[in-house]
Amino acid sequence: MDLFKLTRTLIDIDSVTPNEYEVGTYLHGFLRDLADRYQGEVEKLEVATDRFNVFARWGDPIVTLSTHMDTVPPFVSSREDDEYIWGRGACDAKGIVAAMITAAVNLLKTGTRNFGLLFVVGEERGSAGAIAAAKTPRGSRYVINGEPTENRLAVASKGALRFEIIARGKLAHSAYPELGHSAIHALLDVLQDIRSIPLPYDPLLGVSTLNIGTICGGHAPNVVADEARAEIMFRTVEDASPIRRALPAAVAGRAQAREVSHTSALRLTSFDGLPTTVVAFATDIPALGGHWGRPFLIGPGSIHVAHTAEEHIAKKSLIEAVEIYARMVTQLHAAQHVAQQVSL
C-alpha cells in the first residue's frame, strides 16, 4: 500500500461538511476489498440521507481506530514535495485516515485480528457521525481517535460551545436611519458585550477562548438592515454553565442567542511509551460517549496548520503514525488479554 498516494487520493475527494457521500463511498469500496482479502466485514452506518459512517472489522474488535472524513471549507486539492503533502484534510484528517488504514494492513499481514476502523461524518460541524455511532456500538473496548497532535498522546482537550446570534431590525432608507432600526448595529453592540464576558481558566487547559467565526446580514449599503447573524464559538475548559449564564446578560434582549452544539472538555489517560500533550481543540470523543470504548487521542500533523490555506502534513509524521497506531493496537490487545486472565 502506498501511504502517500492514499493520502492524496482522499484529499482530492471534496468532502466539505455535509458532503461526505463521495469520500464515504470510496472508503467503503476500498475497505470492502481489504475485508475480502483478510476475511473481514465492512458496513455503512446511516447518519442521514446520503451521509453514512464507514465501519470495517476483522474479528470482534477490541480496539477501534477512528477519525473523521469531512473537512472544513474550502476544498483544496493535493500536492506534494519531498517532505510534505499539502491540501485540505492533509492533517485534519485524511492523512490520519490513510495512516490508520495502512496500520490496519500491516497488522493484518502479521495475522493480527480483533480490531476495527470507524470513519465518521460531520466532526467539523456538530459531530453528527459520532452521535450516530454512539447509538450503534460494535463491542470495542478501546477507541483511538485521530486528530493532529504531532503524534503525541493528548491527555486533555478543550470543549466547544457554539451559538448563533440573531438580531432583528427595521428596513429604512439609509438617508433616513431614524425611520428604521439597524440589525447590524445591534449585532455589533451585542458581540462587543459578549467579548467582554469573563472566561473561565483551568491550570491544565489554560483560559477559555471566544471566536466570532461568521457575520452576515443586510441587503445593500443604502438600506438599513432588518436582520444580521453571527456564529460564535467558545473553547471551554470546564463546565459550560458559567458561559451559558453570562450570555443572556450580555445579549440583554437585543438579539436571540441560540445554542447550536456543545462538546465537553476532556481529561484523558496516558499510554505507556508515548509522549503527551494538551490540546485546545474539541473532538468526537465526547459525542461517542464511551460506547466505543475507553478513548485515546493521537494523530500525525499539527493543528496549527489545520483549517488554513497552507494545511499540510509531513511524510515522516505519517510514517511514524502508522507505527504508533499498530503498536497501540498490539499493546491494547495484550492488556485486554491480561485483564481477562486476571478475571478468570
**Amino acid present at 125:** R
Q: What angle is formed at CA 60 by the lines to CA 119 and CA 330, rounded to 5 degrees?
A: 80
Radius of gyration (C-alpha) of the chain in whole angstroms: 22
Catalytic residue among 41, 46, 83, 123: 123
Give SS3 for 204: coil
Q: Is 123 a catalytic residue?
A: yes
Q: Which residue has the cell 465492512?
A: 42
- CA separation, residue 313 to residues 40, 78, 215 (Å): 30, 11, 31
**CA–CA separation, 143 and 286 (whole Å):** 12
Residue 300's nearest CA partner among 311, 286, 288, 289 is 311
Instruction: Give the helix/strand (H/E) hosting 223.
Output: strand 223-224
Mention every residue, 6+ apart, whose C-beta is less than 8 A from residue 170: 179, 180, 181, 224, 226
Mention every residue, 6+ apart, whose C-beta is less than 8 A from residue 241: none
**CA–CA separation, 315 and 163 (whole Å):** 37
**CA–CA separation, 333 and 298 (whole Å):** 18
Q: DSSP assignment of 41-99, as one string?
A: EEEEEEEETTEEEEEEEESS-SEEEEEE--BPSSP---EE-SSEEESTTTTTTHHHHHH
- Residues serving a catalytic function are 123
